[in-house]
Amino acid sequence: MNKRPRSYDANDEANPRRSPPNTQFRSTINSTAAAANALNATLTVYKEQLISNLKQNIDKPPPIGLTLQESTIKSIEDTVNASYERKRKSAPLIPNDLRADIFPATGLRIGEYKFLATHKGTLMVGFYYATKRLAWEIFDIHGGIKYKIEVPWQNILAMRAIIEENKHGILQIKLAKAPTFFRHIDPPNPRSHPKWEPSNDFTGGHALKHQVHSLGFPPGDLDKYYRKLIQHDNRLLQLSQVSFSK
């Protein structure tokens, strides 16, 4: 007997006695960042005081007949700097949770516009937490051009994820206004980062007329990214709990 598809509900695993996941996440980031900053500040002060004391003592009579030369000071300073760098790099870092998630999708539909990923990497979805944007990257293998649609989180009116075991996942987003379009350009220097320039709508006008974007994903791929997305923003979390209407 086939299981009935369900929309993902953020309350399925919620514990009412616990703090909201977004609050816990921010608390963890703040406490970890504070600890890292305090440790780095302590190490910096220690290094500066040690080097300053060495330089101040260079003109004083050396103990037990030793001579403290400029070259000796430089050698000790290099050793202190190297030790400082090792300790700084081993200090706790701010969590990596703001790093973007970029993962493949199988298809995109906007109105009558459809794009199917016939080759690996031709349709990629990005969840950008630092800039609070979603993006669909589309590679036209026939024209050799890569396009992108960007959606700011604040432009989202409704959203839902339909997840069924061993079935393709579906993400639906309803927008308040048309998204922005970009076209990929190769930099003159191969070592430079790729660049995007503003582009006209490449969906035949459908993305300008239709509010709902539907994306398909391989089985099991959408769930973890969607959970992380709604935990990063209270508004998206609330939208995920409201019935989706086209």
What are 95-105's pLDDT values in tens digits?
566 899 999 99
Q: What is the pLDDT of residue 92?
A: 44
* Residue 23 predicted with pLDDT over 70: no
Most confident range (mean pLDDT) of 74-78, 128-132, 187-191 is: 128-132
Backbone angles phi, psi at 155, to 5 degrees: -90, 0
Q: What is the pLDDT of residue 19?
A: 42
For residues 185-207, give the mean pLDDT: 84
Q: For the chain, what is the mean pLDDT?
A: 78
Q: Enter the pTM of the model.
A: 0.61
Q: What is the pLDDT of residue 144?
A: 87
Question: How deeply is 34 buried, as exposed, middle or buried, from its count of CB atoms within 10 A (0-12, 13-18, 19+)?
Answer: exposed
Q: In what order do the strands lie in the sheet with 6-7?
A: 6-7, 156-163, 169-175, 212-217, 107-110, 113-116
For residues 42-63, give the mean pLDDT: 59
Q: Between residues 93 and 150, which one has the greater pLDDT?
A: 150
For residues 189-194, give the mean pLDDT: 69
Q: Between residues 224 and 59, which one has the greater pLDDT?
A: 224
Question: Distance (Å, rounded) from C-alpha 61 to C-alpha 29?
Answer: 50
Q: What is the pLDDT of residue 98?
A: 83
* Residue 128 predicted with pLDDT over 70: yes
Q: What is the pLDDT of residue 186?
A: 76
* Residue 54 predicted with pLDDT over 90: no
In 35-86, which ranges are E strands? none
